[in-house]
Chains A and B, each alone.
Chain A
Amino acid sequence: GQQLNQSPQSMFIQEGEDVSMNCTSSSIFNTWLWYKQDPGEGPVLLIALYKAGELTSNGRLTAQFGITRKDSFLNISASIPSDVGIYFCAGQETGGFKTIFGAGTRLFVKA
């Protein structure tokens, strides 16, 4: 089945630092999604990408849809303590109903 490889698994950073995480897939996706999940809650959509090469920002977050359609990255600039949580990439194939999630990147921010 489809697999998403998300890295790194965890990151420990200082407040104010920039963060980068990425995802690669064995399959071509036509949509890439980035979610954040806080403890005891469901994931919340941060950014959605629909076209190869697309670069989209949402505040301090920037994400890109890779040209090959098999990868994506998420950058967080000037991290703050409330950025702590688990970040998931997810992809959707053409014509399907499934959203495939990566295993997550756990972000820890030290004030």
Chain B
Amino acid sequence: GAGVSQSPRYKVAKRGQDVALRCDPISGHVSLFWYQQALGQGPEFLTYFQNEAQLDKSGLPSDRFFAERPEGSVSTLKIQRTQQEDSAVYLCASSLGGARNEQFFGPGTRLTVL
């Protein structure tokens, strides 16, 4: 069966550009999470959706980061005016039920800001 997919897998942006990262969760999964993983570190929580509702966005590092999941399925993480410190792997995960159910991770999008 299909797992969580993310696109693009790699993105190179010039500083100041806007980027949009897409996540396709496992079909029927209610919960969706975004994480940022810097080189050599563990994933850091960014935001959590339950269906289309964004219940926790406390991990978003600045107001340049915005996430949406308008129909409760596909989600997009948008980063405006990218900075070099935004360079990281952005991971998406989904779970069947609530936040405490097993999370299934996608392969991530590696963002490099030059």
A residues sitting closer than 8 Å to B (CB atoms) are 4, 6, 31, 40-45, 48, 88, 90, 92, 96-104
Contact = CB atoms under 8 A, between A and B. Distances in A.
A102 B59 contact: no
A43 B56 contact: no
A98 B33 CA distance: 9
A45 B55 contact: no
Contacts of B107: 40-42
Interface in B83-114: 91, 93, 99-100, 102-103, 105-108
Interface residues of B, number: 24
Contacts of A44: 105
B29 to A, nearest CB: 14
Given A42-B106, A92-B99, 17 more contacts: A41-B107, A41-B108, A42-B4, A42-B91, A42-B105, A44-B105, A45-B103, A88-B42, A92-B100, A98-B45, A98-B59, A99-B99, A101-B42, A101-B44, A103-B40, A104-B41, A104-B42
B88 to A, nearest CB: 13
A101 B43 contact: yes
A98 to B, nearest CB: 5
B43 A43 contact: yes
28 contacts: A6-B42, A40-B107, A41-B108, A42-B91, A42-B105, A42-B107, A42-B108, A43-B43, A43-B105, A45-B102, A48-B102, A88-B42, A90-B42, A92-B99, A92-B100, A97-B48, A97-B56, A97-B99, A98-B45, A98-B56, A98-B58, A98-B59, A99-B99, A101-B42, A101-B43, A101-B44, A102-B42, A103-B41
Contacts of B43: 43, 88, 101
Interface in B63-93: 91, 93
A100 B56 CA distance: 14
Nearest to B106: A42
A41 B35 CA distance: 13
A42 B107 CA distance: 5
Pick the most buried of A43, A88, A97: most chain B CB atoms within 10 A of its CB. Answer: A97
Contacts of B103: 45, 99
